[in-house]
Amino acid sequence: MSKEDNGTSWTLFIVPFIVAYIGSRLIFHFSEFDYNLFAEPLSATKLFIDVSVFGGLFFATYIAARKLHQSCEREDG
């Protein structure tokens, strides 16, 4: 993995973002939750649900990817 100057890898942000996006879309599809911020009037409740689900999935995946990345670094060095 290529390293940036601060020692983090882009995969630590890209993979959780993709997983969170796809995961939130799947959750909303199966729960029949439909909210389009740009086509519908602003609904604070729906916006909060949308952002919270995405944020929760992103955070959980980021923590898992970071732990995996750290364990791989320990094995290499």
| CA atoms of 18 and 40, how far apart (whole Å) | 25
The predicted pLDDT at position 77 comes to 62
pLDDT average, residue stretch 59-77: 86
Q: Residue 22 corresponds to which tokens in the numbers above?
A: 């796809």
pLDDT average, residue stretch 38-56: 93
Question: Is it the case that residue 39 has pLDDT exceeding 70?
Answer: yes
The predicted pLDDT at position 72 comes to 81
Question: Is it the case that residue 30 has pLDDT exceeding 90?
Answer: yes
| CA atoms of 66 and 69, how far apart (whole Å) | 5
Mean pLDDT (the chain) is 86
| CA atoms of 36 and 63, how far apart (whole Å) | 28
| CA atoms of 57 and 5, how far apart (whole Å) | 27
Which band of pLDDT confidence, cut at 50, 70 and 90, is reported for residue 35?
A: confident
